[in-house]
Amino acid sequence: MMQEGEKIACLTCYDATFAGVAEAAGIDVLLVGDSLGMVMQGHDSTLPVLLGDMIYHSACVARGSSRCLRVVDMPFMSYTTPAQGIGNAARLMGEGGAQMVKLEGGRVIREVVHHLADHGIPVCAHLGLLPQSVHGLGGYRVQGRDQRSADRIFEDARILEEAGAGMLVLECVPAELAGRITDSVSIPVIGIGAGPDCDGQVLVLHDLLGVTRGRRPKFSQDFLAGRGGIQAGMEAYQRAVKSGTFPGPEHSF
């Protein structure tokens, strides 16, 4: 899809029913995100989510979908070493039905990414705002606004691609930086709050449905409003991503 210039529509998902609806709506990638800690479990961050939680929800999504690529987050502190990472990734794939695992972090996780890729485990990297590092980042803030941090994110993208990452998520970075990274790497770049120039977009399911608790993120949109049902809302999101009308300037930094 990236090679053909077709935008990739991604959506978070946590159970079999919504997986089936998303697949029927034409969604390309289902991300079983550790965001489930906030939207499903009621925590105020993703940090309490356990590996067992991710395996359970991933297996539910796998039973509800057959066409979509299933990407699953590795939770907080579950990939601190290559050995730990490969053991936990193997469980996500073997027990949870994951087809790709997602890891947060830059060059510090290079060896883990290389080790997983060397053993045939597809890896999605995640740069920019890293929810698992929210305390170290001082909160949920846009990353890469100054030249130094932008250069570091840019170089981290190149480093992780070289280490073997097959896809990259950019979260809450300036649109100009995301565009430069997308142009510089040969793997698909999926944005969330990263402007319109990425190869695809991802939204948290609950943001798409307009049921976000608290303040809705700037980069999100309620696609259910004014439509006849959940599948219609997902279809509207899919069309907006494919046509390039979402995200618009109002969703970007």
Distances (CA, A) of 194 to 124, 203, 231, 248: 16, 12, 25, 11
CA distance 106 to 156: 5
Distance from the Cα of residue 91 to its chain's centroid: 20
Spatial separation of the C-alpha atoms in residues 70 and 151, rounded to whole Å = 30
DSSP state of 126: E
| Residue 101: alpha-carbon gap to chain centroid | 10
- Rounded Cα–Cα distance for residues 215 and 37 (Å): 17
Residue 140 CA: distances (Å) to CA of 44, 56, 130: 12, 27, 8
Catalytic residues: 171
Provide Rg for the chain, Cα atoms. 17
SS3 168: strand
Give the C-alpha separation, 253 to 246, whole Å. 14
CA distance 66 to 46: 27
